[in-house]
Amino acid sequence: MAPPSANDEDFTPTPSIPSKSRTIPEIKKSLGGLTQSASYPTPLVYSGTLDHYESFDLTSIIGREFPNLQITDILSDDAKIRDLAILVSQRGVVFFRNQDINIEDQKILGQKLGELTGKPATSKLHKHALSNSKRGIAVDENGKLDDEVSVISSDQQRKLYHNLFGSSKKLASEGWHADITFERVPSDYAILKITKTPEDVGGDTLWASGYEAFDRLSPVWQRFAEGLTATHYQPNFNKVAAEHSLELLDQDRGAPENKGLDFAASHPVVRTNPVTGWKSLFGTGHQVHAGWVDNVTETESEVIKAYFLKLITENHDLQVRFKWNKNDLAIWDNRSVFHTATNDYEGKRQGNRVVSLGEKPFYNPASKSRREALFGGN
């Protein structure tokens, strides 16, 4: 889920919620009615329309870069955008350098990626409860404000979370997350274009593969994880809003189900990506830091959460790190990757992030792991 700041790239630790708080009426109510249909979508096949553009993999597991392709050149070609979405879902995150795409076309791209790969008609672009137009940060040179764009702003972060910067002693690994998983209908794809890089150095972003994290579980732990759900919970939006007298968006956050101020949702710990048909570890990272694994004791929940987080943070070979230049752009699949930004700069950093909403998370017992699908399980 989103870290507790005005943007999802920065992070302040959230205290774990006491077990007695798990039964508060508003959270119990928010988690109802989320039964998943027993019918599952058929995985999609990449057709090769992007093969003649120069690209290269950044690691064997995650990440691909197109060093020369301008997304605006293919935006009107639905076959290529569909293939791009499939490629993002397979590789986890795809990078583009020095993009000329404007914010309106970035929004069009965000919606197309999901529509062309079968997301529900009711799922649109996400409107962030906190990081929206009410913060007054323009998304273009004309001063445009837009609820469907989350401005990733170090200035805003420092204003709301001054303790994040300076002499903080926290572990940077606490920042790993997938976007907005506290929503009943969370994100499929996210697009971030960095419009301002720090004057000094730093502000990189790292991504980690949930596919590979699942594959690194033993068969016994895989079967165990497949039977679990976890409650993703974000208490800090209400905390920040109260401290700074801010208004939160409590209705119409991009899908009919995404409303209210409880910011809690129960999802499968192992999630099937409908585009690839691959299993991904989903219930880990900061999105469950204040949440819990359902139907186990508090102690068991903390043990499970800690182990799953270790799979992400302590396996550097399932991660990819990207150093931003101005106007670089990344597209990632929030269903199957986690990400975190480095807090190692003093200058200003800003970008525009568009987040598409997908389907309600589900686990398909017939789905395969990435290794099984690509290499027969080796």
User: For residue range 345-354, what is the model confidence (pLDDT) as tens digits?
Assistant: 889 999 999 9
The predicted structure's pLDDT at residue 258 = 97
The predicted structure's pLDDT at residue 135 = 85
Examine residue 121 and state whether it is found in any structural domain, yes or no.
yes
Which residue segment(s) compose the domain that 169 sits in?
A: 19-375
Q: Please, which pLDDT band fits residue 213 given cuts at 50, 70 and 90?
A: very high
Examine residue 6 and state whether it is found in any structural domain, yes or no.
no
Question: For the segment 48-76, what is each residue's pLDDT rounded down to a tens digit?
Answer: 999 999 999 999 999 999 999 999 999 99
Q: How many domains are contained in the chain?
A: 1
Can you give 172-234 as a three-state secondary structure string? HHHHCECCCCCCCCCEEEEEEEEEECCCCCCCCEEEEEHHHHHHCCCHHHHHHHHCCEEEEEC
Mean of the per-residue pLDDT values of the chain? 89
State pTM to two decimals: 0.90
User: What is the mean pLDDT of the segment spanning 178-201?
Assistant: 96
Examine residue 8 and state whether it is found in any structural domain, yes or no.
no
Is the separation of the CB atoms in 197 and 43 below 8 Å? no
pLDDT at 193 over 60: yes
Taking the CA atoms of residue 233, residue 87, residue 39 and residue 229 in that order, the dihedral angle to the nearest 10 degrees is -20
CATH number of the domain enclosing 336: 3.60.130.10
Q: Please, which pLDDT band fits residue 4 given cuts at 50, 70 and 90?
A: very low
Percent of the chain with pLDDT over 90: 76
Examine residue 14 and state whether it is found in any structural domain, yes or no.
no
The predicted structure's pLDDT at residue 248 = 95
DSSP letter, residue 167 = S
pLDDT at 23 over 50: no
The closest of 232, 203, 218 to 328, measured between CA atoms, is 203
pLDDT at 239 over 70: yes
Question: For the segment 128-176, what is each residue's pLDDT rounded down to a tens digit?
Answer: 999 888 888 889 888 888 999 999 888 777 777 665 544 456 777 888 9
The predicted structure's pLDDT at residue 158 = 74
